[in-house]
Chain A
Amino acid sequence: MNYFVIGFYALLIGSSCLAAYYQKRSLFLLLFTLTLVCFLMGIIGGQPALWFVTVLAGIIALAAGTSYAWREFLVLTLPRDMSRALKTAPLTASFGLFVIFIYAVMGIFAPVIAPHGEAEVISSAFAPADANMLLGADQLGRDVFSRIVYGARNTVGLALAATILAFFIGAIAGLFAAVRKGWLDQIMGRGADVIMSVPSLIFALLMLSIFGTSMLVIVVIVAIIYSPRVYRLTRAVAGNVVVMDYIEAASLRGEGTGYLIRKEILPNSTAPLIAEFGLEFCFVFLLIAGLSFLGLGIQPPTADWGSMVRENATLISFGDVTPLIPAGAIALLTVAVNFVVDWMLFRASGLKE
């Protein structure tokens, strides 16, 4: 027992007692469960396990503080109607928005932020980190930090392009199917069923083995794989809108299909579609990252998070965490988007009731 361990438990028990005294029921439950878990972890893992908990708690506190400040910042700077929605947003959602903002900045200003080029060999292979290279060098002696920054542009950009294309195909087909109905609707529905009945990764691998792995092929294939999901949702949402009286009124007025879709249906079905865009982006992003990890996505020397994990995976067996950073970057962005989508879905369902 040393001062750290004693202080650690004293702080936990003290704060849970305070929480109990001030009737903060959920906070007390959380803190006291944490205390019990820490007893167990301390017995099994000793002091390093307690350090791990401390560091984790620090990170979570930092993230919570950042998200709180970010939410207040957005509420103050954005126009009124948007800031009103944000005021009630949970901290997780504002954390998600913050992460997305950081990634966007990183991707857009990659050449400014990165100290070296993405394919520039500047030292020996697997050189350790120094003042010049924040995270060390990879297997060819390129700067890992610069490659991660460029990866934000390449990997996220590719996933975004594929998602937008998938949305374009799926939403247009879904809207047309909802308006026109009949045999076109039937054929597209069955086609969507067939594509959805093959696991997406397997389908992508089959297509990539045939068409090779260029950026364009990846974007088109991934868009085709995920467009049926968008199609289904758009078809369902638009199907509910199409039966409304004002649509009938518009079509009796003699408006064409294009007008109906643009001016009447689309504005009334955007909320679920935006949430779906976020979810879809997560799936696409994970699929593309998986493909690059398998060596079948973005080809070297372009910096890309998935292939960076694979190229530097040998470092893990020496206990080095560097290869996990790009993988963690993928996970962080997906978590962030999921948090925001969760909040949007909750809002959409709350408004309906």
Chain B
Amino acid sequence: MGDVASLILKRLALGVVTLFVISILIFGAVEMLPGDIAQAVLGQSATPENLAALREQMGLDQPAIVRYFHWLTGAISGDFGNSLVTGERVSSTIGPRLLNTLFLASYAAAIAVPLAIILGILVALARNSVFDRVANILALTAISSPEFFLGYVLILYLSVKTGLFPAISSLQGDMSFGDLLYRTFLPALTMVLVVMAHMMRMTRAAIINLLASPYIEMARLKGVPSWKVIVFHALPNALAPIINVVALNLAYLITGVVLVEVVFVYPGVGQLLVDAVSKRDFPIVQACCLIFAATFILLNLAADVGSILTNPRLRHPK
């Protein structure tokens, strides 16, 4: 076990370092502004007195390193400063929206992950058949379509033409859980389609890769039925790549969520980020970017740790 523990520790340390570098990048990006934040907020017509006052209020008279550590320690404890546009605390703006986004992402993941793995295995079983080809073409089409295309197609056919689901996911605090699931079904379905196609293709590739190995052929020659070969012989070894696939696609959900939230006017972090970018509200942009990047890095980390843990060669060293 010593091997595995040190491998995981190394990977965790690498993750922390990456996160640190990313935080520097996000903070440093705003420092690259022509002029500085105060200039960007007040515009060209600002008087020197106003500029100086704002600079002092925002602490811009201190050196960048001091401000960076101030910002970082604040960010770790959940305090990202105040919005430049509304003046509200960034954390109180982001908090409820973050919950909404996490809800949407986990809703999509809960549908997509089991479905994609089962479909991937089925398609791998029927490889090179007509179904495999049709599934391949459909998956490629789903991957290649921009999220907003899928979203609007779903709105047009499932909401406008047939009226099955609401097109705009307006959330109220007192909705029941079932109602919540119903209202957010279309955005979740959009993400399911994109992510599922990815996952299915990758699961199929992972299993087909394994099916070529000699021990599978041995099992076949012994006369084991083909579903047993897949479930008992191939699947345990395919677990590592599949866990990797799942985590990578959950990470992909994070990018997809921004576009989907805008299409369905869903009150989440993605929508907030886009608004903040067009209003140039830097504290919110920084906070959202840090949250998205951190989730992305954590999921990638989870993927690596998962594949280390499920690798029998590492678990039972010779």
List the B residue with the shortest CB-CB distance to A326.
Answer: B149
Check A339–B140 contact: CB distance below 8 A: yes
Taking the complex as formed, is A293 at the interface, i.e. its CB lies under 8 A from any CB of chain B? yes
B268 to A: closest C-beta gap in Å: 14
- Which of B25, B29, B145, B149 lies in contact with A194, CB distance below 8 A? B25
Taking the complex as formed, is B103 at the interface, i.e. its CB lies under 8 A from any CB of chain A? no
Count A-B contacts at CB 8 Å: 142
- Which of A205, A282, A316 lies in contact with B144, CB distance below 8 A? A282
Taking the complex as formed, is B106 at the interface, i.e. its CB lies under 8 A from any CB of chain A? no
Count residues on chain A whose CB falls below 8 Å from chain B CBs: 50
Tell me the complex Cα distance, A339–B138, Å.
11
Q: Which positions 10-67 of chain A face chain B at CB distance < 8 Å?
A: 26-27, 29-30, 33
Check B277–A296 contact: CB distance below 8 A: yes
Tell me the complex Cα distance, A199–B297, Å.
9
Q: Mark each residue of chain A from 182 to 208: 1 if its CB lies under 8 Å from any CB of chain B, else 0.
A: 000000000001100111111101111
Residues of B within 8 A of A286 (CB): 144, 146
Check B149–A210 contact: CB distance below 8 A: no
* A interface SS class: helix
Residues of B within 8 A of A318 (CB): 160
Residues of A within 8 A of B26 (CB): 206
Q: Using known A-B contacts A205-B289, A294-B262, determine if residue A319 contacts B273 with beta carbons closer than 8 Å.
A: no
B200 to A: closest C-beta gap in Å: 15
List the B residue with the shortest CB-CB distance to A341.
Answer: B140
Give the residue among B29, B149, B161 with the most A Cβ atoms within 10 A.
B149
Q: Which positions 289-330 of chain A face chain B at CB distance < 8 Å?
A: 289-290, 293-296, 306, 309-310, 313, 316-319, 321, 323-324, 327-328, 330
- Which of A282, A294, A319 lies in contact with B274, CB distance below 8 A? A294
Q: Which of B150-158, B182-190, B224-232, B309-317 forms part of the interface with chain A?
A: B150-158
- Which of B140, B141, B278 lies in contact with A342, CB distance below 8 A? B140
Give the residue among A26, A293, A306, A342 with the most B Cβ atoms within 10 A.
A293
Taking the complex as formed, is B148 at the interface, i.e. its CB lies under 8 A from any CB of chain A? yes
- Which of A290, A293, A324, A335 lies in contact with B153, CB distance below 8 A? A324
What are 5 A-B residue pairs whose CB atoms fall within 8 Å in the complex?
Answer: A27-B130, A198-B296, A199-B255, A319-B156, A324-B153
> Top 10 nearest A-B pairs by Cβ distance?
A334-B144, A327-B149, A331-B145, A209-B277, A335-B144, A26-B130, A199-B255, A201-B255, A202-B292, A30-B130
